[in-house]
Homo-oligomer: A and B are copies of this chain.
Amino acid sequence: MRLTSYTDFSLRVLIYLALNPDRRPTIAEIADRYAISRTHLMKVVHQLGVAGYIETVRGKNGGLKLARDIETLTVGEVVRRTEPDLHLVSCFEVAAAPGCVIAPACRLKGKLHEARAAFLRVLDDCTLAEVVGNRDALSTLLAS
């Protein structure tokens, strides 16, 4: 049970931009600070733009900026959007093939649904503002 690195990196980009609201950080800068692949980050940034979470500002002092209010953007919303597969088991899929014969009466399936809901509820209650609440500590680490 793991989130994809795509989700991981998406959240890191949003955190970075939330910590730097008065600048327009570039992909190169963010990749450098987190020591992650620039190529990978380009794809992540593109999708964050498509999702309406960030904007790309063109020009000489261009770069990235958040397009959403950090007080209302939640980790849950981002994870639901970026995680390609929140189907814990194959029977969660509408057209699961091959299907599990007991699926129509399976209480385990219901419990797993309940567990996933509990997981997402915690993240839905957490805004980006809350995540960067310790702004100074995070900025210091990113500058080191």
Question: A residues touching B (Cβ–Cβ < 8 Å)?
Answer: 1-3, 5, 8, 11-12, 15, 33-36, 75, 83, 85-90, 98, 100-102, 104-108, 111-112, 114-116, 118-123, 126, 130-134, 137-138, 141-142, 144
Q: How many copies of this chain does one complex carry?
A: 2
CB distance from A28 to the nearest CB of B (A): 16
Please name the residue on chain B nearest to A140 by beta carbon.
B105
The binding surface of chain A is classed by DSSP as helix
Q: Return chain B residues, CB-CB under 8 Å to A1.
A: 1-3, 83, 85-86, 88, 116
Q: State which of B11, B85, B111, B121 has its C-beta within 8 Å of the C-beta of A108.
A: B11
Inter-chain contact A111/B88, CB cutoff 8 Å: no
